[in-house]
Amino acid sequence: MSSLRIAVLDSGVNPLHPHVGRLAAGVCVTAEGKGEDTLDHLGYGTAVAALIHALAPDATIVPVRIFDKDLSTTLPSLVRALEWCAANSIQIINLSLGTTDESHREPFEKAVAHIAASGAVLVAPYAMAEKLLLPGTLPGVIGVVVDTACGDACTVKQMSSKVVFGAQPYPREIPDASRELNLNGVSFSVARVSAYFARIWPSRRAAERWEERLLVQPGRSKCQNAAP
């Protein structure tokens, strides 16, 4: 797994944080263009990267900063970031956001096709607060939902015509502090599933669709070990 690269599309990463490791040079993507500054000023991307590193320590994390002063971005910036990943030897793209705006469907479909053609996979929220999200609901995207009942495992189940993963919505634990004092949300569910795929990536057969391997009977679910 040492050559496997996970792009974390978020607020960047703080390379000096003690929970972060195996970082590679990334990119900052804004409405104005691309840059090299991937330093995290919000802390969210660092927390996501730290969780992925804890669960898949042999993977290389590539920060792709799409957030600046708040946790929002534009469609052109996001699509440009996804295209950058497809062109820069990324195997797993960890995306912490989604949208309900149906006008974004076609641009996302084109980006997802380029990602698939590059041999990479995109992991993104399938739904949040029962609202379906793009691009996580698209075919070929690994959709993720919050599942607080699954412990250290991921749940896998059929939802409509798509296989969807569930995982805990918590980052790394804060010593001697309750989870209620820490960050939480579907972003960390996505990070847990990205780490899971990083660990099983070497067993993937060429041109195999993940859905074909993980498909279960409608209405049923099964658990995959999400922790190393």
User: Which residues does 58 contact at the CB level (< 8 Å), separation at least 6?
Assistant: 1, 2, 4, 22, 198
Evaluate whether 20 touches 13 at the Cβ level (below 8 Å). yes
- What pLDDT sits at residue 75? 94
Closest by alpha carbon to 62, among 31, 32, 28, 35?
A: 28
Evaluate whether 223 touches 154 at the Cβ level (below 8 Å). yes
Evaluate whether 22 touches 161 at the Cβ level (below 8 Å). no
Residue-range domain boundaries for the chain: 5-225
- What pLDDT sits at residue 160? 80
CA–CA dist 80, 68 (Å, integer): 16
**Kind of pairing between the strands at 33-35 and 27-30:** antiparallel
Evaluate whether 109 touches 63 at the Cβ level (below 8 Å). no
* Beta bridge partner(s), residue 153: 225
pTM value?
A: 0.90
pLDDT tens track for 86-107: 999 999 999 999 999 999 999 9
Query: Six-digit token pair at 158?
Result: 């059929």
pLDDT tens track for 28-54: 998 778 999 999 999 999 999 999 999
Peptide bond between residue 57 and the one before it cis (omega within 30 degrees of 0): no
144: exposed, middle or buried (C-beta count within 10 Å: 0-12, 13-18, 19+)? buried
Topology of domain 5-225 in CATH is: Rossmann fold (3.40.50)
Residue 76, pLDDT > 90, answer yes
Give the CA radius of gyration of the chain: 16
Mean pLDDT (whole number) for 73-94: 95
Residue 215: band (very low, low, confident or very high) from pLDDT cuts 50, 70, 90: very low
pLDDT tens track for 126-177: 998 889 999 999 999 999 999 988 877 788 888 887 889 999 999 877 666 6
- What pLDDT sits at residue 161? 79
Query: Six-digit token pair at 123?
Result: 């992991």
